[in-house]
Amino acid sequence: MVRSSDAMQEAVKNFQSMNRLKPTGKINEETKKLMKRSRCGNRDPVSRIKSRSYGELLPYELHGSKWTNYKLTYRFKNFSQKMTKEGIIKIVKEAFGMWSQVTPLRFIESNDKKKRAHIDIQFSTRIHCCHEAPPDSAKFEGPGGVMAHTTYPEDGGEIHVDDDENWRLEYDPKDTNTMSFKYVMVHEIGHVLGLEHSHFVEGSIMAPYYYNTDVPPNFKLHETDIIAIQKLYGNQSIKLP
Ligand SMILES: [Zn+2]
Ligand SMILES: [Zn+2]
């Protein structure tokens, strides 16, 4: 029988090894600090990472599914109560652009109300309709904690954004209470293209924890993120038919 304290200790150990902290199973200051940061709702690939020996650890993780088209459409199912529609359209275009700069992928916004796009983006709060997601992840918990979650290519492209968060569109160094929408979108697009959470690499966009208020204004994809996405789709020099 597994006692609940053992299960708790195991969960803390998993959390620590996922984030390159010493896996003691005890919640120390360093662990506490990281646990308080906002994160993405997608699960960490803990069991896969644990099944590898230390020498086989990769700095990134691929989900195992990818898109077969290089031209992908995306569509807004709705918009946010917190940010302007024009601002969202601009930022999402820039976020897709960061991935198309390093791959042959092209992203086109669709305005077709009836037909779903390859990638559908929606703003939700609390419990919401979440296709393909396990029931326990079909909810957001209000401000803080999980900011967004996304399905992988084989499960259909759905990006869900928690609209209870304090979002900001543009960078403002004086603003310490808001979360960069662009940063989170670049991360979620990584998932929708087939990347899982990276095995915590400082500066990787695919790390499970987001920067909170300290996102640099002109942040870039980390080398690890570029290697990972190019494993799936090749680089930007590939000519499309
Ligand atoms: Zn994520
Ligand atoms: Zn959802």
What's residue 4's pLDDT?
Answer: 67
Q: Quick: pLDDT tens for 102-161.
A: 999 999 999 998 889 999 999 999 988 776 555 556 789 899 889 999 999 998 899 999
Task: Give 153 Cα–ligand 1 centroid separation in angstroms.
Answer: 14
CA–centroid distance, residue 1 to ligand 1 (Å): 33
Strands in 110-193 per DSSP E: 119-124, 148-150, 157-162, 167-168, 179-180
CB burial string 115-138: b at 16+ within 10 A, e below: eebbbbbbbbbeeeebeebeeeeb
Instruction: Give the Cα-Cα-Cα angle 207, 85, 93 (nearest 5 degrees).
Output: 50
For the whole prediction, is pTM greater than 0.85? yes
Q: Where are the domains of the chain?
A: 1-36, 71-233
119-124: strand order across its sheet: 106-109, 71-76, 119-124, 157-162, 148-150
Rounded Cα gap, residues 146 and 137, in angstroms = 10
- The ligand minimizing its distance to the Cα of 135 is 2
C-alpha of residue 240 to centroid of ligand 2, in Å: 33
pLDDT tens readout for residues 182-213? 999 999 999 999 999 987 677 889 988 876 55
Distance separating alpha carbons of residues 12 and 23, to the nearest angstrom: 8
Report the C-alpha gap between 9 and 134 in whole angstroms: 24
CA of 78 to the centre of ligand 1 (A): 21
Q: Which one has a higher pLDDT value, 174 or 149?
A: 149
Q: Active site includes 188?
A: yes
Question: Residue 188 C-alpha to ligand 1 middle, in angstroms?
Answer: 6
- Is 37 exposed, middle or buried (CB count within 10 Å of its CB: 0-12, 13-18, 19+)? middle
Of 61, 158, 165, 188, which is the active-site residue?
188
What is the C-alpha to C-alpha distance for residues 34 and 31, in angstroms, rounded to an integer?
5
Q: Which ligand has the nearest atom to the CA of 121?
A: 2
User: What is the number of the ligand closest to the CA of 188?
Assistant: 1
pLDDT for res 3 = 60
pLDDT the model gives residue 133: 54
Checking DSSP bridges between strand 157-162 and strand 148-150, what pairing results, if any? Answer: antiparallel
Tell me how long the chain is: 241
Percent of the residues in the chain that have a pLDDT greater than 70, as a whole number: 90
CA distance 221 to 104: 16
Domain spanning 71-233 has what CATH number? 3.40.390.10
What is the pLDDT at residue 148?
94
Q: What is the pLDDT of residues 38-90, one digit of tens each?
A: 888 888 887 777 776 655 667 788 999 999 999 999 999 999 999 999 999 99
pLDDT confidence tier of residue 93, bands split at 50, 70 and 90: very high
